[in-house]
Structure 1
Amino acid sequence: MKDLPEILAIARTVGWGAAEILQSYYHGTAKDTNLNVQYKQNEPVTVADVTVSQYILQNLQAALGQEDFAYISEETYQSELNHNKNWVWIIDPLDGTSDFIEKTGDYAVHIALVKEHRPVLAVVAIPEAGKLYYATKDGGTFVETRTDAHPLELSLKDASKRLEDLTIVVSRSHRNQRLEYLLAHLPFHNQKSVGSVGCKIATILEQQAEVYISLSGKSAPKDWDIAAPELILTEAGGKFTHFDGTELRYNTGDINQWGGLLASNGQYHQKLCQEAEKILAQFETPSA
């Protein structure tokens, strides 16, 4: 098997290629500009999703083979995982399909390599920002454009910032009553609506927000929504955990990430997790 730096170089190249294909559909320069929007489990799927999924899988498999790795993509995922590999690629070819269709610009490509349930390599490409974030376990986070690359580290330069003054980045579309209650009772004065988990985490990395919360309802975010964004955040010094502080696990047989998840720049992380749990307990056991 190739070493991690070689694998990362391949994944970055594939990430940029995927970003170019998505932009060709987004800006109407693809050969066929009809997105042919369909719905799978109430979620939109376009020709762009499928085309980019094929592109990523074909290129990764051509470079790395299928002997050492299993491959899970949102567009090809089957409920039964027939593999016994320790190394698994978890891919979302187009995270933020609704935003892609609605032309908000908040869409991303997620490519993560998971070893024994934890991410060890991640690429998050944000086409409309012209940026690609990448990280390896214990190797830090980097951001690159077509002309430049540099390390990215979260600095709590304003460590005296009050809890109320933090900005929480929230979903435009995935909302439910419990999440609305939680957001209403958390102390934040500032909310920023952003599509795509990758774009939300980039907002924290770019220090335009400090916190992101995911709370499952009838459905939950999937492994491919979270794995790559988690690693680029944590390797930059942020935190991404369940509300009870436990780490996230992937490729467990259930691709859903149930419960409450909290991502932050690291400031007040444990306190925010505890506060979220307390507020949800009040929601679920209302006073008589």
Structure 2
Amino acid sequence: MFLSNLLEPVKAAALEAGTELWQLYQSGNFEQQQKADQSPVTTADLAANAIIIDRLSTLTPEIPIISEESRLASLAERHQWSRYWLIDPMDGTQEFVARSGDFAVSIALVEDGWPALGVIYWPKHQVFYYATRGNGAFKQDSQQIQRINVNHFNVGECLKIAVSRRQPLEPIINLLQVEQNVEYIALGSCSLKSCLIAEGKADCYMRIGPTGEWDTGAVQVIVEEAGGQILDSEFLPLSYNQRDTLANPNFMVLGQASVSWQQLIKAKATLRDLTL
């Protein structure tokens, strides 16, 4: 009941932040800066961040918040938290700047070290993806709410791989174990590509390069509730709130759990050591 009661207010916060992002995107009234790690941040990221933090702080003042765009508490302090919000006010800042429209708001609630609630909002299409642990995954647009599930892929069929609009395909091609009929589906935003797997429009997504836990928190529960999984380069589960920086390893978003993905994808050191 706790998670169910939070879901609609969290969706409302994501919608409000996403509406602000879309207005700034359309007007072009934003400024771009570089963060210390050389990744881009805009005044739109910060505006969305302020909205979400204000709404969540009002909704659950007792639950701490981790955001990509806010100061990170120390690991010692965070280890005292049994529950916390994990947010990325705009996943896909590069797509925002490049004018593709492939950016999203991402909000997760982590309980006892694992995401339990996830909401993704895509302003361009006014679409929600969301899930709470044990209750299935859903997609909502202006017309309907539908339960989503990963694609029933069988080895030997065409493998649909979600890929970035802005990174070369060769490293991904080199990760395939065997000669395989493949279709590449290009989309921006880490979370939106993961949602493609959750709704069955793609079968896997291999993320090579820097990400943070806020990039996977919300989609972790959405993908799992849709029947998929997110694993690191050793085919092991990700972890949350166990590192100083909250940096993720390279990871894979995989569809149907019954597929022997290790027969299809070269992982371990091959995936771990690649950078784009």
TM-score by length of 1: 0.83
1:54 alignment partner in structure 2: 50
Within 5 Å, give how 1:39-50 maps onto structure 2: 39-40=34-35, 41-50=37-46
Does structure 1 retain, via aligned residues, the 8 Å contact 2:235–2:268? no
Post-superposition offset of 1:160: 4.0
Residue 240 (structure 2) aligned to one of 228, 250, 253: 250
SS of match in other structure, 1:191 = strand
Residue 30 (structure 2) aligned to one of 20, 30, 35: 35
- Is 1:232 matched up with 2:222? yes
Q: How far does the alpha carbon of each residue in 1:193-242 deviate from its partner, in whole angstroms, 9 at most, with x for none?
A: 221111102222343321100134xxx21000111112111101112112
Does structure 2 retain, via aligned residues, the 8 Å contact 1:36–1:46? yes
Residue 200 (structure 1) aligned to one of 193, 212, 215: 193
CA gap of 1:278–1:5, structure 2 versus 1, over 3 A, is: closer
SS of match in other structure, 1:129 = coil
Query: How far apart, in 2, do the equivalents of 1:208 and 1:51 lie?
Result: 32
SS of match in other structure, 2:9 = helix
SS of match in other structure, 1:62 = helix
Within 5 Å, give how 1:253-272 maps onto structure 2: 253-254=243-244, 255-258=246-249, 260-266=250-256, 269-272=259-262
Query: How far apart, in 1, do the equivalents of 2:213 and 2:175 lie?
Result: 28
| Matching residue's letter, 1:127 | P
2:72 alignment partner in structure 1: 78
Unaligned stretches of 5+ residues in structure 1 = none
- Is 1:276 matched up with 2:266? yes
2:111 alignment partner in structure 1: 115
TM-score by length of 2: 0.87
Does structure 2 retain, via aligned residues, the 8 Å contact 1:244–1:274? no
SS of match in other structure, 2:47 = helix
Within 5 Å, give how 1:211-230 maps onto structure 2: 211-216=204-209, 220-230=210-220
SS of match in other structure, 1:256 = coil
- Is 1:64 matched up with 2:57? no
Post-superposition offset of 1:126: 0.9
**In the comparison of the two structures, how many residue pairs are matched?**
266
1:92 alignment partner in structure 2: 88
1:4 alignment partner in structure 2: 3
Post-superposition offset of 1:185: 4.5
Query: How far apart, in 2, do the equivalents of 1:267 and 1:137 lie?
Result: 17
Query: How far apart, in 2, do the equivalents of 1:39 and 1:278 lie?
Result: 32
1:190 alignment partner in structure 2: 183
Query: How far apart, in 2, do the equivalents of 1:127 and 1:173 lie?
Result: 20
Unaligned stretches of 5+ residues in structure 2 = none
2:203 alignment partner in structure 1: 210
Within 5 Å, give how 1:142-221 maps onto structure 2: 142-156=138-152, 159-160=153-154, 162=156, 165-173=158-166, 180-186=170-176, 187-188=179-180, 189-216=182-209, 220-221=210-211
Calculate percent identity across the aligned residue pairs: 28
CA gap of 1:111–1:174, structure 2 versus 1, over 3 A, is: farther
CA gap of 1:38–1:269, structure 2 versus 1, over 3 A, is: farther
CA gap of 1:253–1:278, structure 2 versus 1, over 3 A, is: closer
| Matching residue's letter, 2:224 | T
Query: How far apart, in 2, do the equivalents of 1:184 and 1:47 lie?
Result: 38
Query: How far apart, in 1, do the equivalents of 2:92 and 2:129 lie?
Result: 17
Post-superposition offset of 1:182: 4.6
